[in-house]
Structure 1
Amino acid sequence: MPKYALNCPPLDTTPRIARDFVASVLRALRLDALVDDAVLCTSELVTNSCRHAKSSGAHLLLMTTPEGPVRVTVYDDDRTLPSLLQGYDGVSGRGLWIVDTVTEGRWGTEALGASGKGVWFEVGKG
């Protein structure tokens, strides 16, 4: 399973760089049909990490298989797991609602104990 990684410092430019990274990897792998959904969900997770984790940054891991889905996980050192709020509200966000809708519920979290958490999503065949 090929893995591609990106360090994501807590900067205003980080979500854009993460989106461009994911788009570039998927296009290079000729998975163009997955780019829009993966980029949107990546943007939500990286933005959430930059806004809420208040850490030294995050780490993005993109994994692919020829026969299966693409999985993107964003790791940070905040131990608080995110919660899914119902519905979309343009004022307060609802990033996970967007991720849940786009991925048809194929997302989740993983607690990493004292070292933080990971939030992931999958797009493509599953």
Structure 2
Amino acid sequence: MGVPEHELPQSYTLFTPGNASSPKICRDFVRSALETLGLGDLADTASLCTSELVTNVHQHAAGDVHLRTAVEATHVRVAVYDESFTLPTPRRARAADAGGRGLFLVTALSDLCGVTSTGRGKGVWFQLNR
């Protein structure tokens, strides 16, 4: 089914502290929004990518998480904003490393992704085409 075209665009916003519980809360929020709008086919990928970006805020950035999910006629874009001006730098994880693959996963699974500087930090986003 899906959301009717005349009801688009729609956006959903969530603010959470940048702590260890935030990746799950944000992941569930995105999944719920997409499934409710009839976009469950994008929910697994969107929730995984969201979790990776929010985990990066918890581990490497400062301040709270501002999550924005925008649903357009042609795509869904999820942006994760934080209060750090330090841009993310993908690194090549070794086989034995427990982490370091998040940005590569987001790049591989999304149709587009990028970073936007804001006056109060940055936003890292990904887009999934519908």
Normalised TM-score (structure 1): 0.89
- Tell me how far apart the structure 2 counterparts of residues 8 and 23 of structure 1 sit (CA, whole Å): 16
Q: Which residue identity lines up with residue 27 of structure 1 in the other structure?
A: E
Tell me, which stretches of 5 or more residues in structure 1 are unaligned?
Answer: none
TM-score normalised by L of structure 2: 0.86
State the identity %: 42
What are the ranges of 5 or more consecutive residues in structure 2 without an aligned counterpart? 1-8
Q: 20, 23, 27: which is aligned to 2:31?
A: 23
* Equivalent of 1:116 in 111, 116, 121: 121
RMSD of equivalent CA atoms: 1.5
Given candidates 72, 78, 86, the residue that maps to 2:84 is: 78
Answering whether residue 59 of structure 2 is matched by residue 51 of structure 1, we say yes
Trace 1:60-71 onto structure 2 (pairs within 5 A). Answer: 60-65=67-72, 67-71=73-77
Q: Identify the structure with the greater strand proportion.
A: 2
Q: Give the Cα–Cα distance (whole angstroms) in 2 for the partners of residues 23 and 40 of structure 1.
A: 9
Cα distance in 2 for partners of 1:82, 1:116 equals 12
Runs of 4+ aligned structure 1 residues displaced above 2 Å come to 84-92
For residues 16 and 9 of structure 1, what CA distance do their matches in structure 2 show?
12
How many residue pairs match? The answer is: 121
